[in-house]
Amino acid sequence: DYGHHPSEIAATLKALRGLDCRRLLVVFQPHRYTRTQHLLKEFATCFADADKLWLTEVYAASEAEIPGVNGALLAEAVRAQGQNVEFTGSLKELPDAVRAAMQPGDLVLFLGAGDVTSAAHELAERLREEMPTNKEQFFAALSAATSSATVLRQNEPLAKKTTLRVGGPADFYVEPAAEVELAAVLRLCGEHQVPFVMLGRGSNLLIKDGGIRGAVICLAHPNFSRVEIIGNRLHCGAGAKLKTVAVEAKRHGLSSLEFLEGIPGSVGGALRMNAGAMGSWMFDVVETIRFMDCAGQAHERKASEVNVEYRGCPLFKNHIALGATLEGEPATREVVEQRMQTFSRKRWTSQPAASSAGCIFKNPGPIPAGKLIDELGLKGMRVGGAAVSDVHGNFIVNQGNATAKDVLALIEIVRQRAKAARGIDLETEVEILGE
């Protein structure tokens, strides 16, 4: 987890306490000498919910070292509160130390905004080696459980399946041909303990260069992409393109869905993220949703019964969208066409045409993220093949040869500048997956 402020850490640990785990093992890498010094008292008490705690040396983040301010100092402050803690000066020693302490049922959390993730990945890799998944056996099971109409591939490149055009491969890539086959795939993932993620049209998504371990499931088959209109209602599959939904609504003289035309995503992705544009949100027009749980059971629910939030719908963190019924307002085709053209012109004059994931940061409240980045003079800043767009500050574009590492480095620079100059913590809106 990226949390590195005392309040963030305490909230994260409290939330994880609600999960069904035996013990909570926590590794924390302090971030910046100044922060460690100024918030030492708060850091000393924020780990109370950890059953076992390791602290590492401070991640400088370009700061000069402050004599006497280090990881050992923080460890002493924690011990003074009566909590056991181990200080480990080298990240290389952490995987061994944590693995030796782990017991069945434990949950291990690595916290920090520095390079502590390298130790987390090393531990994860060791655990995978200890309990290897037989990839060929799993792939054979997938093949046996699905028809020839289902797309099955191993080591599938994902970069071209995202609008940002970066990222590594997926161990397994699946495009189920029907709901019954999706259910079979989900059950097999559970039986073989293979993690899975859902992929829509790849917008609002940043896949790391190492790719995604496990299965990537995409509902791109035509059976999931249907749009049927009855009266003023549109019955849409999760794989339907939002542009297709908007065009079909126009063709049948239905308004209120024009804003979907410019969102480069699918209905399923829009439900999961409560996608929005031009002042409207996906759940503004949703009447009912259909979804599947991880056991392969389908469900239906009224939109009014679903909790939604800014850029998110918590239900879809552990359920898969199958489709939705959207409601339009009767209007003439000419009126709908005019609104769509107005939105399109606004989009093309305010958003970059180059490959991007869409808005990178959530608007922090006091000022839109794009305006903040513009005022900080960060437009045009580059790392490798990634650049902050000259058109809109909240877009990072791929100039043709960017890697996910470039994009992530640029995101961190922007976050640090915003924090240093305005005291604003920018939170990413783009979903970051993989390793």
Domain ranges of the chain: 6-113, 131-218, 225-348, 352-433
Instruction: Tell me which of 67-71, 101-105, 371-375 is least confident.
Output: 101-105
Q: At 225, list the tokens.
A: 């992409």
Q: What is the largest CA-CA distance in the chain?
A: 72
Q: At 290, list the tokens.
A: 């259909």
Calpha distance 136→433 (Å, rounded): 24
Contact (Cβ atoms closer than 8 angstroms) between residue 1 and residue 109? yes
Angle between helix 94-101 and helix 117-130 axes, rounded to 10 deg: 50
Calpha distance 241→294 (Å, rounded): 24
Cα 208–197–260 angle (5° rounding)?
90
The secondary structure element, H or E, covering residue 371 is helix 369-375
pLDDT band at 265 (very low <50, low <70, confident <90, very high): confident
Q: At 236, list the tokens.
A: 């849409």
- Pairing between strand 24-28 and 107-111? parallel
Contact (Cβ atoms closer than 8 angstroms) between residue 270 and residue 311? no
Unique residue bearing structure tokens 């976050």:
415
pLDDT of residue 131: 59
Whether CATH 3.30.465.10 fits 225-348: yes
Contact (Cβ atoms closer than 8 angstroms) between residue 16 and residue 23? no
Q: At 385, list the tokens.
A: 């093949």
pLDDT band at 58 (very low <50, low <70, confident <90, very high): very high
pLDDT of residue 348: 75
DSSP string, 92-125: GGHHHHHHHH--TT-EEEEE-SSSTHHHHHHHHH
Calpha distance 376→388 (Å, rounded): 12
- Measured from the Cβ of residue 238, the count of other Cβ atoms closer than 10 Å reads 27
Q: pTM, whole model, 2 decimals?
A: 0.70
Topology (CATH level 3) of domain 131-218: 3.30.43
Contact (Cβ atoms closer than 8 angstroms) between residue 380 and residue 419? no
| pLDDT tens per residue, range 279-315 | 788 999 999 999 999 999 999 999 999 998 877 898 9
| pLDDT tens per residue, range 216-239 | 999 999 999 999 999 999 999 999
Calpha distance 429→205 (Å, rounded): 9
Distances (CA, A) of 96 to 92, 100, 102, 114, 121: 8, 6, 10, 20, 12
Give me Rg for the CA atoms of the chain: 23
| pLDDT tens per residue, range 334-352 | 999 999 898 888 877 777 8
Q: Running DSSP on this structure, what letter comes out for residue 330?
A: E
pLDDT of residue 133: 58
Name residue 415's amino acid. R
Question: 114 pLDDT exceeds 80?
Answer: yes
The overall average pLDDT reported for the chain is 92
Task: Just give the CATH number of 352-433.
Answer: 3.90.78.10
Unique residue bearing structure tokens 């797309």:
151
Contact (Cβ atoms closer than 8 angstroms) between residue 204 and residue 228? no
Same fold, 6-113 and 131-218: no
| pLDDT tens per residue, range 142-170 | 999 999 999 999 999 999 999 999 999 99
Calpha distance 27→86 (Å, rounded): 9
Name residue 186's amino acid. L
Cα 265–222–243 angle (5° rounding)?
30
Q: At 422, list the tokens.
A: 């305005």
Task: Just give the CATH number of 6-113.
Answer: 3.90.190.20
Calpha distance 22→419 (Å, rounded): 37
